[in-house]
């Protein structure tokens, strides 16, 4: 093999990189463990234990324990915040940076919330029309919205179609001229208006995404994930560990709140600040309330000159660097916009102290403290925030709201510097003129969602509403600010269309099940390769270890989040990783059986296995890529893991394994490929598969009929595909499903779907109750109704809060609009996968007969899986739902099924060249028999890993694993009995080695 030295160096560098990358997880885990122990110790020192505080009263002990746990969590989070800059690695990474580099667990493994938001393009069109009352406009838009709900097509295209149907003689331009800032006019064509709307919709989407990102950064969630899809106009947000679901729903769906505030400077509030800090210092360190004790404490604080004493005396300014005024060239005193700077890690503590009545009570009621960007270099990542004092109208409102911004754009000033041009509408221009006139030389804060984005200094009055903001902006920064300014004029609010909540308990179960499946699968495959392939199995096992190590470390380095579906992908990677070595080893065994010497057999084994190995990996990668494109949430994680596993498997399974094999050969040590078991199984097989092809055809016809029948008999669709709300409820004891259905019917007005999930004390309840209704508290209303219906099955006295935190361990909500999109995407993904693979097979083998065999085999596999999920859904003791995990299994089966089929096809093509006078039936029989061992072995390795995942992997992946088990069995069957035999009965007059010319040999004469 060429470039063996390069492979060794690259492999060594990858090992070093992997160990380096994964070490962050160990360092972070160790630090967090220490902080957790410290938090528990601090709380224990200040708060008595539950048993000591309420001896003999278990109910009060349980309630008080919740208080202790909350106090520990608060203290723990504060310790992590305060140590965010502490060095925790041997090479100097602080906790914050190391945390960003560690392996991240998804919400289904640690609990949390996954939300899919759809950006409101209907609201965008209304705003661009100036909320037109035009009858044709509103009728067309309403029809377009209804049509999108069932088709998933682009709303702008649908609106244009409907408007032309409603008002065929009207142009689009008059609808949108008023708010276009002269970008279109009455002469603009419909095509130009559509282009304008698309450009503005992209800006609105990007702006909504940026606003959501800023909001999410303030949830206090470690490493949140937010993924925009500009084509589908959806944003997926994953907040692992979040607990306040209502706050998330409210915060993510609220409209952007852009405001312009005048500022207090330190000269105006300096005396109040000093008095407030003195009062706060006394309040924080006092035990009594009389003035004498206050005076005594103040005196003691002033005498303590130690660093700790000064921190107690100045509880605010010890954390806040107060900015002092400066003098300009004329001697005029200039006050900076911010009051001061604070380290990001201290903002929680500082905010708590400034909200203390002893401090806050010293300031005017119109003053409001908020944080903002510091304005320095790398202001978003430098760990520094600015504190601003806003002048409000009534404690909240600003003199000028963002809705008055008519346009904003990145531009350049007269000196060629990057600038931002901003325009106000007539009402806003009047307010802006007064504000700028009264604040010349002072700053005006531009605030989005109570966070100062920028605070430019007013150079002079602006009477006409046209402003220019300059500073040390980069072009990208100026573009971001201008889009932020337009948020007040381009309302494209995000609406939650799908939601999944996983409790910490359910997440822990998923971690345990997935980890156990991973470990057992690894051990079983490790032992199997040694048992079946002798000491050459060590080559496969070393490749497997490196493949997993590289896959996990690269995914971690790229910031991927590991979910239960991702662990399933890793488990599947274990099975598929050794398949490459199985194909190579089986070829080497064939070469040795044919009398080749060891070196020739190894060379031929690797060389002649390369084509089928590449083909198998390409087809599996293509189906994973399609799944990634059409999938949503955790299923995309599965596809992402699978794609990286496939790519790295080529490197490990071919290059590294060959390098290790050559190393043994150079040491004059030959690897053994045969064992007693491997010698006896499938060696010299001479089964007559072609003779039984008509029986196989009959079975396939039955399978096709069952598949078609399943479409009539129906399926159990998951909540993702039918819309609704699904709850996972854990009871203290076994409950009867039918009793639960009856009780819930009384409160829902309809019977929900109730299924056992895991043990008999855990149920999955799905309902469409109020799914069409919208409102701020609709989710809470449904959950309270659920609580009412289940109350008789809960322990006596269980409160709604206890039900939410203890018994409701998971939930999922999918609105009908997104469920239709998901269903349509699943169908398209399956169709595209089949077509792409068929096309690839045609290009690869240059013969349409191979493509026909591929189509029939793939449809055969899909139909069997559909039939099983339809007809057995009321028979098996676990859920067989058609959901995204099922689609992931189907697409994976399609890709995997091609592995075996390609191996057989490749041998058919090879034998057809070596046997030019043999009939097609003889060639196919020999090819299937020649490859029977590797066909079975590749299936066995994957089957074993999926079986283990099915048995111990937990409920989250059980449906996926079951579909994969069915698919692996049917894929093996179809490769042997369907795909290859079909070649005999198509174009009988042509030899298999001839893709277009007249056959040189006799057609198959084999009789069934």
Range(s) of the domain holding residue 221: 114-253
Task: Show which of 102, 137, 169 is a domain's final residue.
Answer: 102
pLDDT band at 1001 (very low <50, low <70, confident <90, very high): very low
Question: Which range, 429-433, 772-776, 851-855, is most confident?
Answer: 429-433
Q: For residues 702 and 561, state if they share a domain.
A: yes
pLDDT band at 803 (very low <50, low <70, confident <90, very high): confident
Residue 757 or residue 41, greater confidence: 41
The packing angle between helices 58-82 and 4-46, to 10°, is 130
pLDDT band at 1003 (very low <50, low <70, confident <90, very high): very low
Residue 342 or residue 893, greater confidence: 342
| Residue-wise pLDDT tens digits, 805-848 | 778 877 777 766 666 777 777 788 888 888 888 888 888 877 78
Cα–Cα distance between 283 and 299 in angstroms, integer?
13
Residue 161 has pLDDT above 70, yes or no: yes
Cα–Cα distance between 482 and 418 in angstroms, integer?
12
Cα–Cα distance between 972 and 978 in angstroms, integer?
10
* pLDDT for the residue numbered 108: 63
Q: Is residue 886 part of a domain?
A: yes
Pick the closest to residue 1003 from 978, 983, 977 (CA basis): 983
How many CB atoms lie under 10 A from the CB of residue 274? Answer: 12
| Residues 526-535, mean pLDDT to the nearest whole number | 86
Residue 229 has pLDDT above 90, yes or no: no
Three-class SS state of 434: helix
| Residue-wise pLDDT tens digits, 467-523 | 888 877 778 778 777 877 766 544 556 777 777 776 655 556 667 777 788 889 888
Q: For residues 266 and 395, state if they share a domain.
A: yes
Residue 273 has pLDDT above 80, yes or no: yes
Cα–Cα distance between 701 and 817 in angstroms, integer?
36
* pLDDT for the residue numbered 819: 67
Residue 291 has pLDDT above 60, yes or no: no
Residue 878 or residue 14, greater confidence: 14
Q: For residues 229 and 286, state if they share a domain.
A: no
Cα–Cα distance between 643 and 248 in angstroms, integer?
32
Within 8 A by CB and 6+ apart from 341, the residues are: 320, 321, 323, 374, 384, 385, 386, 387
492 and 483 Cβ atoms separated by less than 8 Å = no
Q: For residues 385 and 417, state if they share a domain.
A: yes
Pick the closest to residue 887 from 828, 820, 805, 946 (CA basis): 828
Provide the β-strand partners of residue 322.
340
| Residues 967-984, mean pLDDT to the nearest whole number | 85
Q: For residues 396 and 266, state if they share a domain.
A: yes
* pLDDT for the residue numbered 885: 78
Where b means 16+ CB within 10 Å and e means fewer, 728-757 reads bbbbeeebeeeebbebbeebbeeebbbebb
565 and 957 Cβ atoms separated by less than 8 Å = yes
What CATH number has the domain bearing residue 643?
Answer: 1.20.1640.10
Q: What percent of the chain has pLDDT over 90?
A: 7
* pLDDT for the residue numbered 16: 94
| Residues 35-63, mean pLDDT to the nearest whole number | 85
639 and 627 Cβ atoms separated by less than 8 Å = yes
Q: Give the DSSP H/E element, type plus range, for residue 844.
A: helix 816-845
* pLDDT for the residue numbered 207: 78
Tell me the backbone φ, ψ of residue 614, rounded to 5 degrees.
Answer: -65, -45
Cα–Cα distance between 12 and 783 in angstroms, integer?
54
* pLDDT for the residue numbered 299: 63
Residue 354 or residue 563, greater confidence: 354
Question: Which range, 557-561, 646-650, 984-988, is most confident?
Answer: 646-650
Q: Is residue 107 part of a domain?
A: no
The pTM of the full predicted model, rounded to 2 decimals, is 0.66
| Residue-wise pLDDT tens digits, 841-850 | 888 877 788 8
What does the mean pLDDT of the chain come to?
A: 81
Residue 358 has pLDDT above 80, yes or no: yes
* Residues 105, 108, 110, 114, CA torsion sign: positive
Q: For residues 523 and 464, state if they share a domain.
A: no
Q: For residues 311 and 374, state if they share a domain.
A: yes
Residue 239 or residue 990, greater confidence: 239
| Residues 786-801, mean pLDDT to the nearest whole number | 86
To the nearest 10°, report the CA torsion of 343, 348, 349, 353: 120
* pLDDT for the residue numbered 474: 78
Q: What percent of the chain has pLDDT over 70?
A: 86
* pLDDT for the residue numbered 622: 87
pLDDT band at 746 (very low <50, low <70, confident <90, very high): confident
Give the long-range contacts of residues 698-705, CB within 8 A, separation 24 or more: 699/977, 700/856, 700/860, 700/978, 703/860, 703/863, 703/864, 703/867, 704/859, 704/860, 704/863
Running DSSP on this structure, what letter comes out for residue 812? Answer: E
Per-residue three-class SS string for 436-454: HHHCECCEEEEEECCCEEE
Q: For residues 684 and 790, state if they share a domain.
A: no
Q: Is residue 992 part of a domain?
A: no
Q: Is residue 495 part of a domain?
A: no
What CATH number has the domain bearing residue 380?
Answer: 3.30.1360.200
Residue 615 has pLDDT above 90, yes or no: no
Task: Show which of 489, 515, 533 is a domain's final residue.
Answer: 489
Task: Show which of 253, 280, 305 is a domain's final residue.
Answer: 253
To the nearest 10°, report the CA torsion of 842, 848, 852, 858: 0
535 and 672 Cβ atoms separated by less than 8 Å = yes
| Residues 423-447, mean pLDDT to the nearest whole number | 89
Pick the closest to residue 691 from 878, 992, 489, 921 (CA basis): 921
* pLDDT for the residue numbered 507: 56
Q: For residues 319 and 441, state if they share a domain.
A: yes
**Structural domains in the chain (count):** 5
* pLDDT for the residue numbered 938: 80
Q: For residues 790 and 847, state if they share a domain.
A: no
Q: Is residue 82 part of a domain?
A: yes
Count Cα atoms within 13 angstroms, Cβ side, for 83: 19
Q: For residues 229 and 276, state if they share a domain.
A: no
Q: Is residue 1005 part of a domain?
A: no
Looking at 481-613, which runs of residues are DSSP E strands? Answer: 494-502, 561-562
579 and 938 Cβ atoms separated by less than 8 Å = yes
Q: Is residue 1007 part of a domain?
A: no
* pLDDT for the residue numbered 691: 83
pLDDT band at 33 (very low <50, low <70, confident <90, very high): very high
| Residues 637-651, mean pLDDT to the nearest whole number | 86
Q: Is residue 999 part of a domain?
A: no
Q: For residues 824 and 963, state if they share a domain.
A: yes
| pLDDT-wise least confident of 362-366, 630-634, 973-977 | 630-634
Residue 466 has pLDDT above 50, yes or no: yes
C-alpha pair distances (Å), 152 with each of 575, 824, 886 = 37, 8, 21
Pick the closest to residue 760 from 878, 881, 880 (CA basis): 878
């Amino acid at each position: 093999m060429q470039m063996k030295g390069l492979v060794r160096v690259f492999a060594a560098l990858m090992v070093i990189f992997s160990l380096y990358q994964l070490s962050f997880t160990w360092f972070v885990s160790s630090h967090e463990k220490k902080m957790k122990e410290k938090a528990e110790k601090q709380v224990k020192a200040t708060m008595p234990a539950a048993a000591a505080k309420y001896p003999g009263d278990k109910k009060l002990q349980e309630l008080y324990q919740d208080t202790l746990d909350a106090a520990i969590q608060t203290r723990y989070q504060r310790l992590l915040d305060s140590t965010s800059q502490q060095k925790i690695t041997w090479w100097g990474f602080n906790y914050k940076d190391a945390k960003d580099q560690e392996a991240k667990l998804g919400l289904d493994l640690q609990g949390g919330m996954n939300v899919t938001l759809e950006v409101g393009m209907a609201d965008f069109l209304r705003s661009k029309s100036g909320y037109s009352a035009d009858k044709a406009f509103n009728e067309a838009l309403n029809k377009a919205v209804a049509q999108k709900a069932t088709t998933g097509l682009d709303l702008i295209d649908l609106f244009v179609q409907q408007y032309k149907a409603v008002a065929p003689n009207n142009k689009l331009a008059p609808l949108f001229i008023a708010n276009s800032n002269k970008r279109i006019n009455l002469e603009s064509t419909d095509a130009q208006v559509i282009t304008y709307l698309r450009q503005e919709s992209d800006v609105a989407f990007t702006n909504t995404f940026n606003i959501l990102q800023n909001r999410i950064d303030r949830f206090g969630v470690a490493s949140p994930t937010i993924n925009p899809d500009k084509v589908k106009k959806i944003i997926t947000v994953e907040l692992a560990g979040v607990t306040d679901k209502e706050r998330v729903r409210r915060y993510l769906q609220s409209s952007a709140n852009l405001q312009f505030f005048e500022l207090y400077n330190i000269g105006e509030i300096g005396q109040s600040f000093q008095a407030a800090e003195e009062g706060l210092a006394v309040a924080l360190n006092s035990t009594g309330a009389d003035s004498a004790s206050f005076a005594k404490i103040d005196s003691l604080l002033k005498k303590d000159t130690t660093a700790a004493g000064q921190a107690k005396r100045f509880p605010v300014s010890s954390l806040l660097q107060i900015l002092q005024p400066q003098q300009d060239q004329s001697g005029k005193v200039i006050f900076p916009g911010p009051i001061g700077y604070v380290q990001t890690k201290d903002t929680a503590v500082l905010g708590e102290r400034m909200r203390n009545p002893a401090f806050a009570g010293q300031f005017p009621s119109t003053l409001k403290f908020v944080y903002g960007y510091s304005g320095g270099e790398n202001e978003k990542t430098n760990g520094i925030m600015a504190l601003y004092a806003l002048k409000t109208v009534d404690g909240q409102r600003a003199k000028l709201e963002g809705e008055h911004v008519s346009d904003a754009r990145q531009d350049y000033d007269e000196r060629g510097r990057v600038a931002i041009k901003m325009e106000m509408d007539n009402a806003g221009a009047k307010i802006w003129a007064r504000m700028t006139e009264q604040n010349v030389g002072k700053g005006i804060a531009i605030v989005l969602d109570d966070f100062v984005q920028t605070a430019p200094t007013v150079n002079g009055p602006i009477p006409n509403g046209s402003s220019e903001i300059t500073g040390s902006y980069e072009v990208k920064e100026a573009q971001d600010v201008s889009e932020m300014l337009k948020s007040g004029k381009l309302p494209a609010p995000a609406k939650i269309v799908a939601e999944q909540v996983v409790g910490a308990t359910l997440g822990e179960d998923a971690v345990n099940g997935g980890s156990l499946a991973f470990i057992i699968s690894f051990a079983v495959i490790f032992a199997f390769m040694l048992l079946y392939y002798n000491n050459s199995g060590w080559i496969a096992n070393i490749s497997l270890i490196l493949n997993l190590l590289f896959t996990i470390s690269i995914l971690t380095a790229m910031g991927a989040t590991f979910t239960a579906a991702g662990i399933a992908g890793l488990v599947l990677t274990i099975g598929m990783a050794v398949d490459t070595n199985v194909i190579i080893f089986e070829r080497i065994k064939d070469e040795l059986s044919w009398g080749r010497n060891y070196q020739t057999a190894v060379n031929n084994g690797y060389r002649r296995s390369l084509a089928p190995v590449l083909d198998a990996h390409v087809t599996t990668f293509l189906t994973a890529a399609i799944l990634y494109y059409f999938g949503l949430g955790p299923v995309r994680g599965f596809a992402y893991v699978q794609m990286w596993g496939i790519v790295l498997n080529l490197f490990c399974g071919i290059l590294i394994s060959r390098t290790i094999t050559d190393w043994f050969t150079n040491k004059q040590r030959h690897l053994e490929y045969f064992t007693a078991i491997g010698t006896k199984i499938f060696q010299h097989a001479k089964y007559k598969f072609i003779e039984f092809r008509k029986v196989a055809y009959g079975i396939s016809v039955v399978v096709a009929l069952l598949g078609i029948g399943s479409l009539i008999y129906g399926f159990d669709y998951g909540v993702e595909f039918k819309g609704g709300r699904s709850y996972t409820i854990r009871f203290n004891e076994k409950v009867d499903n039918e009793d639960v259905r009856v009780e819930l019917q009384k409160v829902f007005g309809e019977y929900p779907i109730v299924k056992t999930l895991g043990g008999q004390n855990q149920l999955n309840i799905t309902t469409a109750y109020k799914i069409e209704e919208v409102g701020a508290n609709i989710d809470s209303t449904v959950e309270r109704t659920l609580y009412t219906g289940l109350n008789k099955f809960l322990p006596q006295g269980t409160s709604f809060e206890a039900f939410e935190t203890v018994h409701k361990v998971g939930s999922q909500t999918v609105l009908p609009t997104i469920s239709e999109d998901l269903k349509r995407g699943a169908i398209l993904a399956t169709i595209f996968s089949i077509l792409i693979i068929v096309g690839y097979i045609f290009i690869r083998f240059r013969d349409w007969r191979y493509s026909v065999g591929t189509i029939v085999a793939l449809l055969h596999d899909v139909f069997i899986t559909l039939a099983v999920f339809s007809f057995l859904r009321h028979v098996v003791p676990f859920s067989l739902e058609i959901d995204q995990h099922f689609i992931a299994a189907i697409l994976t089966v399609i890709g995997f099924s091609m592995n075996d089929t390609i191996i057989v096809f490749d041998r058919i093509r090879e034998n057809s060249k070596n046997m030019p006078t043999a009939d097609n039936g003889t060639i196919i029989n020999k090819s299937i028999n020649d490859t029977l061992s590797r066909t079975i072995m590749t299936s066995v390795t994957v089957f074993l890993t999926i079986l283990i995942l099915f048995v111990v992997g937990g409920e989250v992946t059980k449906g996926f694993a079951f579909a994969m088990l069915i698919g692996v069995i049917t894929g093996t069957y179809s490769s042997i009995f369907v795909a290859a035999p079909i070649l005999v009965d198509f174009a009988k007059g042509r030899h298999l080695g001839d893709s277009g010319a007249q056959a040189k040999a006799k057609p198959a004469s084999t009789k069934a």
